[in-house]
Structures are given as structure tokens and as C-alpha cells.
């Protein structure tokens, strides 16, 4: 259990740095950042899969491909919004994804949702709209895009839950990387060549994403999801600190309340599900 918690802390810290890199590279087209994020992971995962004889294609090609497309579009939207609004706000708003995963699972997987689960999700959603209403740095387009990104992540959660143990987790991740690489190349005309230290930062984003993914997976394998999932919200704390120190991003009371409601709603949802089990 302790090791699982430590791994989750490492994963959240790594993902926070990845998000920071996406913010720092705001002079690049967001799809160029997506490409390096995906390629930096792909070059490590793909050879390992071949070495370990892990299936590349998988058995459920349609759902694996659909998951890859949803993840690619969601990540592209997230990186776009990260470049346009405060880092902490973008991360907090994307944490509304479990709201959509519960709703989609209710309709498509026929999962039973208790009354108090719905209430916890409403708390999180209220927090998101409070943030939009009081923080004028979050423009309407960015708010729509980040909520769409969250909706797509919710869809990804449901597909992964549906696939369950039917596919190797690296096969699922690899589809995400391949579709992100191919999709990003359609926007190559908007890219620019990195200069000097930019090569380091744009390369790091892929490596950090890979490290975060591996530690996240290990964390869920070593400890109960209900024990480690709430720690994932440490990523928001890191985002707020990075935004404040590096980008001079500050928040008044009400946006902070909105963020806390988002986190509170999601943590309550996890605890309620744990109690049901």
C-alpha cells in the first residue's frame, strides 16, 4: 500500500512537470507538442512490446482505435487550453472527466450509480462553473474546449473499463501514441523548428509522460484504487505552485473555492464507490 502511494505521488509530480512543459512551449502549435509527447513515449514502448512479444494490434481493433482517437483529440484540446489560460485552472477543469465517465458508464455499460454519487458529481460540476463565472481569464472558447476534453477523457475511461483485462495495457497505450503521432502530422505545416534549449524541453515532455504513465499504472497495481486515486489531485497543487512561481498566476478566493469543489466532488465520488464495494 505504501509503495503504491509513493508511486502515485511520483506519477502526479511527473505529470505536473509534463503539463508545465506544455505551458512553457506555448509558442509552439499545440499539435506539435502533442507529437513530441506521443513520440517520446512511443520510441520506448514500441521496442519493448516487440522484445516482450506483446501484441501490437490487439483483439478489439475498433475499440482500441476509438480510444486512441478520443485520447488524441482530448490531449490536443488540453494542450491548446493550457497555452491560453492559467495552468491551475486548466488542470482543475480537466478533473471533471470522472463526471462524464460515470454518466457514460451509466448509459453504455449499465453501471448502477447511487444517489449520493450523482450529488458528488454535481458538486464538482458546480465548482467548474464557479471557476468559469468568476475567473475572467477563462474565456468562453477555452472553457468549452476544456470541458470537451474532459468529456472525451470520460469516454476513454469507459472504453478502458470495457476492455478490462481483454487487452494488455501497453497495447492500449500504444494505440494512443500511434493515433496521436499520425493525427499531429496533419498539422505539420503549422510547426516550427525548436531552437537551442527548446529541444530539451520538447523532448522532456514525452519522457515525462512515459514515466508518469508507468508509475500511475504501477500504483494502481500495488494499492486499491480508492486509496491512491485521491492522491492524483496533488497534480493540481503542483500546477498552482508552478503557475504562481513561474508564470505569476494568482487566484482570488472564489476560483480557489471552485477548484476545491471540483476536487471535493471527485474525492467523494471515489469514497462513495469504495463504500459500495
> Which sequence spans correspond to the domains of the chain?
2-276
Over residues 98-116, the mean pLDDT reads: 83
d(CA 118, CA 265) in angstroms, rounded, equals: 10
Mean residue pLDDT of the chain comes to 88
7 pLDDT band (50/70/90 cuts)? confident
d(CA 18, CA 37) in angstroms, rounded, equals: 9
Q: What are the C-alpha distances in Å from 18 to residues 15, 94, 202, 215?
A: 5, 15, 10, 14
Burial (CB count within 10 angstroms: exposed 0-12, middle 13-18, buried 19+), residue 6: middle
Q: Which residue has the higher pLDDT, 233 or 33?
A: 33
Q: For residue 2, is pLDDT > 60?
A: yes
Q: For residue 189, is pLDDT > 60?
A: yes
Give the per-residue pLDDT at 277: 62
3-state helix, strand, coil in the chain (%, to 5): 80, 0, 20
> CA dihedral in degrees (28, 34, 40, 44; nearest 10)?
-170
228 pLDDT band (50/70/90 cuts)? low
Is residue 90 within 8 A of residue 146, CB to CB? The reply is: yes
Over residues 167-188, the mean pLDDT reads: 93
Among positive and negative, which fits the CA dihedral 268, 270, 274, 277? positive
Give the per-residue pLDDT at 1: 57
60 pLDDT band (50/70/90 cuts)? very high
Burial 202-240 (b: 16+ CB within 10 A, else e): bebbbbbbbbbbbbbebbbebbeeebbbbbbbbbbbbbb
Q: For residue 214, is pLDDT > 70?
A: yes
pLDDT, tens digit, 9 for 90 and up, residues 69-98: 999 999 999 999 999 999 999 999 998 888
Q: For residue 130, is pLDDT > 70?
A: yes
49 pLDDT band (50/70/90 cuts)? very high
140 pLDDT band (50/70/90 cuts)? very high
Residue with grid cell 450523482, as numbered in its chain: 118
Q: For residue 225, is pLDDT > 60?
A: no
- Type and span of the H or E element at 113: none
Over residues 126-146, the mean pLDDT reads: 91
Over residues 166-188, the mean pLDDT reads: 93
Over residues 47-58, the mean pLDDT reads: 95
148 pLDDT band (50/70/90 cuts)? very high
Give the per-residue pLDDT at 3: 81
**Residues above pLDDT 70, as percent of the chain:** 95
Contacts of 255 (CB under 8 A, 6+ apart): 89, 130, 131, 134, 135
Lowest mean pLDDT, pick from 4-8, 91-95, 190-194, 197-201: 4-8
Would you state the cell numbers that stand for residue 150, as one nine-digit string? 474532459
Is residue 152 within 8 A of residue 38, CB to CB? The reply is: no
Helices (H), 85-139: 87-94, 97-108, 115-134
d(CA 219, CA 91) in angstroms, rounded, equals: 21
d(CA 178, CA 176) in angstroms, rounded, equals: 6
Q: For residue 217, is pLDDT > 60?
A: yes
Give the per-residue pLDDT at 50: 96
Amino acid at each position: 500500500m505504501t509503495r503504491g502511494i509513493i508511486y502515485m505521488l511520483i506519477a502526479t509530480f511527473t505529470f505536473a512537470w509534463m503539463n508545465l512543459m506544455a505551458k512553457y512551449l506555448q509558442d509552439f502549435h499545440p499539435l506539435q507538442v502533442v507529437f513530441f509527447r506521443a513520440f517520446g513515449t512511443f520510441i520506448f514502448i514500441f521496442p519493448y512490446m516487440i522484445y516482450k512479444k506483446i501484441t501490437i494490434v490487439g483483439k478489439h481493433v475498433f475499440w482500441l482505435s476509438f480510444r486512441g482517437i478520443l485520447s488524441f483529440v482530448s490531449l490536443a484540446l488540453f494542450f491548446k487550453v493550457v497555452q491560453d489560460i492559467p495552468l491551475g485552472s486548466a488542470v482543475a477543469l480537466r478533473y471533471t472527466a470522472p463526471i462524464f465517465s460515470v454518466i457514460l458508464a451509466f448509459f453504455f455499460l449499465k453501471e448502477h450509480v447511487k444517489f449520493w454519487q450523482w450529488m458528488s458529481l454535481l458538486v464538482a460540476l458546480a465548482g467548474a462553473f464557479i471557476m468559469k463565472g468568476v475567473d475572467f481569464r477563462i474565456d468562453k472558447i477555452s472553457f468549452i474546449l476544456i470541458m470537451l476534453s474532459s468529456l472525451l477523457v470520460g469516454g476513454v475511461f469507459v472504453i478502458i473499463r470495457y476492455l478490462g483485462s481483454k487487452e494488455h495495457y501497453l497495447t492500449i497505450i500504444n494505440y494512443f501514441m500511434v493515433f496521436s503521432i499520425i493525427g499531429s502530422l496533419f498539422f505539420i505545416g503549422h510547426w516550427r523548428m525548436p531552437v537551442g534549449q527548446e529541444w530539451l524541453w520538447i523532448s522532456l515532455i514525452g519522457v515525462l509522460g512515459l514515466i508518469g504513465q508507468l508509475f500511475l499504472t504501477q500504483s494502481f497495481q500495488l494499492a486499491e484504487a480508492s486509496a491512491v486515486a485521491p492522491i492524483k489531485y496533488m497534480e493540481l497543487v503542483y500546477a498552482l505552485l508552478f503557475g504562481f512561481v513561474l508564470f505569476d498566476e494568482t487566484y482570488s478566493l472564489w476560483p480557489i473555492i471552485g477548484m476545491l469543489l471540483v476536487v471535493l466532488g471527485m474525492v467523494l465520488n471515489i469514497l462513495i464507490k469504495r463504500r459500495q464495494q
